[in-house]
Amino acid sequence: MAGIGGTIARAAGMFAGTNVDDIIVLTVFFLTSRAGRGPRAWQIWAGQYLGIAVLVLVSLAAALGLTFIPNNWGGLLGLVPFVLGVRGLVMTVRAGNRGEERPPPTVTGLMPVAWVTIANGADNVSVYTPVFRTIDTGSTIVTIVVFAIGVAVWCLAGSWLGSHKKIVDVIRRYGQWIVPAVFIVIGAVIVVASGVLAELW
């Protein structure tokens, strides 16, 4: 039991430590959903689970010696939220030029949520991989179960944080500018923090 307890504690700490910034992304998704300008709640949950599942599978593959891309180059995934943000701002400007009061939503559907989750967690692979290399099959299964529970906790937290009426009202009024800006910042931080720019020069 002590061994299982240690594995659970380590997995919970690892998940929380590598996904703190995901709370911000999930909160934005739930805010836009409640404001009627984003993905539906089930798409956020499913997209988050799909994104984390991909990160775990890539980490497991890397632990077995199957490295698809160098670690730093994973930072290029930050271009996904960055492009989504730029696209959202362009759509807002175009809608304003046409005199429309409500521009199309910035991010909708399950797959964009999953892609943003993957991009935001690209650095998680470098943390998960060495752990999966050093634990046995039973511990790996326990770790994955803890991650699955962690996703549910994160989604519930994001939903709660995104349920405040005053913030939802602000998103309804200014979300067409705020949400794209948030995604642009997230994307830029991912790219810069990964060190991939140094590889390109």
Whole-angstrom distance, CA of residue 35 vs CA of residue 78 = 25
Q: 1 pLDDT exceeds 50?
A: no
Q: Tell me how many degrees the CA angle 14-19-24 measures, rounded to the nearest 5.
A: 160
3-state secondary structure of 38: coil
If one counts the domains in the chain, the total is 1
Token pair 């590598």 in the structure block, residue: 18
Contact indicator for 11, 149 with CB cutoff of 8 Å: no
Specify which of 19-28, 92-101, 104-113, 172-181 reaches the highest per-range mean pLDDT. Answer: 19-28
DSSP letter string over 80-97?
HHHHHHHHHHHHHHHHHH
> From residue 20, how far is each of 26, 46, 100, 157, 163 by CA, in Å?
11, 19, 36, 11, 19
- Determine the structural domain holding residue 82 and report its residue range: 2-200
Give the pLDDT band of residue 44 (cuts 50, 70, 90). very high
pLDDT in tens, 142-199: 999 999 999 999 999 999 988 887 777 776 777 777 778 877 887 787 777 767 666 6
3-state secondary structure of 48: helix
To the question of pTM greater than 0.85 for the whole model, the response is no
